[in-house]
Each structure stands twice: as structure tokens, then as C-alpha cells.
A and B are shown apart, each in its own frame.
Chain A
Amino acid sequence: MNQPLASVPWGPWIGAYIVLTGLVSGLTLVTRFLRPDDERAATRFEWISSWTALATLAGCTIILISDLGRPARFFLMVTQFTNAGSVMSWGAKIIALKIGLLAVYLLLLHRRRQALAAGDAMLTGRATRALYTAVPGALALVSFALAVYPPFLLSWTWSSPASHNAGSALVYLSSSALLGAAAASLIATFVPDVSDLAMTARVRVTLMRFLGAHIVALGFVMLSLRANETRVVFDELWHGASAGACRILVAGTGLAVLFTAPMFAGRRRTALAITALVSAAASRYVIFAAR
């Protein structure tokens, strides 16, 4: 028979897709709650964050199309409604919906930036205000759906047994929030005029809280695995089908820390954000790949 573990259908690229969906959903959600108080800075922050999310989603789409072989196959998954019970079908539609909503929101932000540049700080008209509330609201809903989508999808499969418990679902949610907070922190640090003092403090506190929540969630996963399962999972990671990717990940992280640590001397916020990004991405990948 086609041996399940001799040829695992989904490889490292789908693992990367699972990581990126966490980043893109977390970034949109966190952006909504970390807006600076200043309207100009807030609009610029959302503008940069939305473009980052759109670029990341484009990356997700390219990964999926590469895996499927040609664009028409991804389009088929988006346009077919014959099997409403398929989690993957919902995932493709959520991604397409989010791309559409982000495009609309970027258009709205563009108009808002033009209005602010012209000195018009107020949103006038009920319909306009409703639009500027409804679109980011819908984006938040869709982003939450995308954040919780991977554990639903992977719970169907035999290829990600570590995803078959409530703890891992929690990790997917916490890592998504952490990835978003880390990306928002990096945007606030490196992009000029998007952050004020209050927002800087808010980002730091949020990042620390999400990191704490993520560590607790990881603890739940470890508790939910029996002792022998934990050994099997880590043995397989290091020696099994995904050993190459895992070793590169570990070695790459180590080298990255070694060579970039001096650059972050005195930049604790950046170091914390990168640590959060790497640890959240690694935990998502490990739960996907462990078998």
C-alpha cells in the first residue's frame, strides 16, 4: 500500500504556509488593538501592516500554487462549493476573502492618508464611517478564522498527530497572536512615524503577555502528550522525514543568534520581537511536522 509515513503528502512548504497563515492573521488582529493614539501615525501603521499582511498572503498563495502545480488548481479550490464539509475548502476561501478585504481596506487607507495630508482629520458621513468600521471589523473576523484554521485542518490528518489535541489548538492561536505582535513590534521599531511613546509601551507589554501565554500553551501541549509520545515525536523530528528541515531550522536559528546578537546590543525590543517570531514560527512548524 502507499505507506503513510514513507511518503508524507505534505512537506516543508505546507509547513511554511501554516507558519505564514499565523503571521498574517495575527498581524491583522494585533494591528487593530495596538493602534497609536495619533490618527496620522495610526493610519500609517495600518497602511504598513496591511501591505505586510497582503504580501505575506501573496506568499501563502504562491506556496499553495507551487504545491498544487498550477494556478487553475488553486482557483478551483476557491470557486468550488460542492463540499461544504471540507476544512481545506474553507481555508482557501478564507484566504481569498482576506486578500479581497485587505485590498479594499488598503484603498480606504489610501483615501484616508490623502484626506489627512489635505488637513481633513474627520470622517464625514454616516456611510463613510460605517465603511471604515465594517471593513476592518470583517478583516478581524476573517483573520480570527484564519488563525484557528490550521488546527481544524490538521485534526483531519494522520500526518500531524501532534495537532490532535486541544493544547496544540491553543498553541496555534497563541503563536498566531505572538507572530502578529512581534511583526507589529518590528514595524513600530523600524518604520518611522508609526509609533508614539504610549504605543511603544503597549506593544512591549502585549508582546510579553503573548509570549507568556504562548509558553503556557506549549506547556499544555507537553502535558497532553504521554511521556513515550513526547519521545517518539522528538525522535521523529530529529531522525525522521522532516529531520533535514528541523536541523536546518535549529542550526540556522543558532547561527542567526550568534551573528546577529551583537547587532541587537542595546536593542532589547528588537531582540525580543525576533525571539518571539522565531519561537512562534518554530512551534507552529514543529506541531505540523512532528509525527
Chain B
Amino acid sequence: MRLGMLVDLRTCIGCHACSVACKSEFDVPLGVFRDTVKYVEEGKYPHATRHFLPVLCNHCEDAPCLSACPTGAIFKPEGQAVVINKSVCNANKVCMTACPYGAIYIDPFEGVAQKCTFCEHRTAQGLMPACVDACPTRCRIFGDLDDPKSEIAQKAASNTTTVWKPDARTKPRVLYIDPKGALGLIKDVGIQSSTDDPAQGRVEKS
């Protein structure tokens, strides 16, 4: 078994229903996210385009956060989600500096690292993750990537898929159908305040 998620960027409308469902499910504090939608703009008027990019923990096969954690608080049961054991986390933030996706945050109330768990408490009961259930366009598909009969495996097989930041060599289990190459437009330098990037004419917001 290899749990994963496939995000079809052709159908994402940037409604943030997934972000809101996730916030609600885990009571995620203000200012931090387990799951959100980035907006990336490309081109200039009259040929400007906006792409919507749902991003979350990639539950990497070679998770750098897991390797970096000094207390063993981050672990990955075989084939399942990468999760954090709060009782052993000492908030040293090394996982945050190791994760190339900015997927981990320190919960300001509990003082421990937190991230997406693929809603393991829901999936254990046969439910879908909250973000998948909330998506009005069904752009997210969750399931077993190794099961050829699963919807996610079939859709991945019948489409060209890619991952976010393949150069990081983390083997993400969140796959994207991204025919316009929008993932590559997400800049590493955070949110740009200007609506005009003279270098590329691209703007990222979240």
C-alpha cells in the first residue's frame, strides 16, 4: 500500500474549500496552514493567466523532515502518511528547515510541530480526507497508488503526472496533473507583494 493524493490542476477553481475544511477539521490557528491554495499569475494583460495550486505536505517517500528529526517524533508507517507524534516533538524546528515545501509549522498554542496527516483519523474509518470531501470540482483524489484498481492509480496511469520540486528528490506522494507547468512558477522566495515581477512577469500569492 502507498497512500497518496492526485491533484488535477485542470479542474481546481481556487475556491479554498479544501483550506477551510482542513482548518476546521484540525482547528488550525491563524497564520499557518496544513493545506492551502497558492495563486500564481503568469503573463501580462491582455494575456494574463492565473493558476490555482493546492499545496499540502507531500508525504515524501524520502521525507527530509523525518530524517532530520532528532527525537524521532516524525514517522511514517509503511505506505501511510508521514505523521508527527506530538508527545515526542520538542519544537526544535529542524523539520521546518529541512522540508522544501514549507509544509510544517509550530502550533502557537501547543508549541509542537504540526502538518497534514492525510486525515489519518478519518481514513482509518474509511472516510476521505476533509479536503477531498470538500472539493466541489473533485480535483483531489486520495487513495492507494499501488492498487491498480483504485481511482487514483487509474487516473495517474491515464494522465501525465508531475510533482512539486522534483529537484528536491524527495519522491512526493502528492502527484499533480499540470499540463500548463504551473507548479514550476511557485517561487521559493515567499509571497511577492508587487503584482509585477520584472524578471518573469509572474506573481505568487497564497
Q: How far is B168's CA from A156's CA once the two chains are assembled, in angstroms?
A: 11
Which stretch from B1-9, B89-97, B147-155 is at the chain A interface? B89-97
Residues of A close to B68: CB separation below 8 A: 86-88, 156
Q: How far is B69's CA from A73's CA once the two chains are assembled, in angstroms?
A: 13
B97–A9 contact, CB under 8 A?
yes
Residue of A nearest to B206 (CB): A1
A72 to chain B, nearest CB (A): 8
**Interface membership of B20, Cβ < 8 A:** no
Pick from B33, B97, B103, B104 the residue with the most CB of A within 10 Å: B97
Q: How far is B174's CA from A25's CA once the two chains are assembled, in angstroms?
A: 43
Return the CB mask of A63-100 against B: 1 if under 8 Å, else 0. Answer: 00001110001101100101101111101100000000
B68 to chain A, nearest CB (A): 5
Q: How far is B33's CA from A287's CA once the two chains are assembled, in angstroms?
A: 29
Residue of B nearest to A89 (CB): B70
Which stretch from B42-50, B129-137, B187-195 is at the chain A interface? B187-195
**Interface membership of A3, Cβ < 8 A:** yes
**Interface membership of B32, Cβ < 8 A:** yes
Interface of chain B residues 159 through 206 with chain A (CB within 8 A): 188-191, 206
User: Considering only CB atoms and an 8 Å cut-off, how many residues of chain B contact the other chain?
Assistant: 35
The SS class assigned to the A binding surface is loop
B92–A156 contact, CB under 8 A?
no
Q: How far is B38's CA from A89's CA once the two chains are assembled, in angstroms?
A: 34
Residues of B close to A159: CB separation below 8 A: 97
Residues of B close to A88: CB separation below 8 A: 68, 70, 92, 94
Interface of chain B residues 63 through 104 with chain A (CB within 8 A): 64, 66-72, 88, 90-94, 96-98, 100-104
Provided the pairs A83-B69, A83-B71 are in contact, do residues A1 and B93 lie with their beta carbons within 8 angstroms?
A: no
Provided the pairs A82-B72, A156-B68 are in contact, do residues A3 and B190 lie with their beta carbons within 8 angstroms?
A: yes
Pick from B33, B71, B103, B188 the residue with the most CB of A within 10 Å: B71
Pick from A9, A73, A89, A157 the residue with the most CB of B within 10 Å: A9
Pick from B64, B98, B104 the residue with the most CB of A within 10 Å: B98
A1–B70 contact, CB under 8 A?
no
Residues of B close to A80: CB separation below 8 A: 70-72, 88
The SS class assigned to the B binding surface is loop
Residue of A nearest to B204 (CB): A3
A2–B102 contact, CB under 8 A?
yes
B33–A76 contact, CB under 8 A?
no
A158–B97 contact, CB under 8 A?
yes
B71–A157 contact, CB under 8 A?
no
Q: How far is B32's CA from A9's CA once the two chains are assembled, in angstroms?
A: 13
B191–A83 contact, CB under 8 A?
no
Q: How far is B38's CA from A76's CA once the two chains are assembled, in angstroms?
A: 36
B102–A83 contact, CB under 8 A?
no
Provided the pairs A1-B36, A89-B71 are in contact, do residues A73 and B104 lie with their beta carbons within 8 angstroms?
A: no
**Interface membership of A234, Cβ < 8 A:** no
Residues of A close to B18: CB separation below 8 A: none
Residue of B nearest to A153 (CB): B94
Residue of B nearest to A78 (CB): B70
Residues of A close to B72: CB separation below 8 A: 80, 82-83, 86
A5–B190 contact, CB under 8 A?
yes
Residues of A close to B96: CB separation below 8 A: 2, 9
Residues of A close to B104: CB separation below 8 A: 2
Q: How far is B64's CA from A85's CA once the two chains are assembled, in angstroms?
A: 10
Residue of A nearest to B96 (CB): A9
Q: How far is B69's CA from A88's CA once the two chains are assembled, in angstroms?
A: 7
B19 to chain A, nearest CB (A): 10
Known: A73-B90, A86-B72. 11 other contacts (CB 8 A): A2-B32, A2-B105, A3-B190, A3-B206, A76-B88, A82-B71, A82-B72, A86-B68, A91-B70, A153-B94, A156-B98
Q: List 26 A-B contacts (CB under 8 A).
A: A1-B33, A1-B36, A1-B101, A2-B104, A4-B102, A4-B188, A5-B188, A5-B189, A73-B91, A73-B92, A74-B90, A77-B70, A80-B88, A83-B66, A83-B70, A85-B67, A86-B68, A88-B70, A89-B70, A89-B71, A153-B94, A156-B64, A156-B94, A156-B98, A157-B97, A160-B97
Binding site for A on B (CB under 8 A): 32-33, 36, 38, 55, 64, 66-72, 88, 90-94, 96-98, 100-106, 111, 188-191, 206
Q: Which 7 A-B pairs have the closest CB atoms?
A: A82-B72, A89-B70, A73-B90, A157-B97, A9-B93, A9-B96, A88-B70
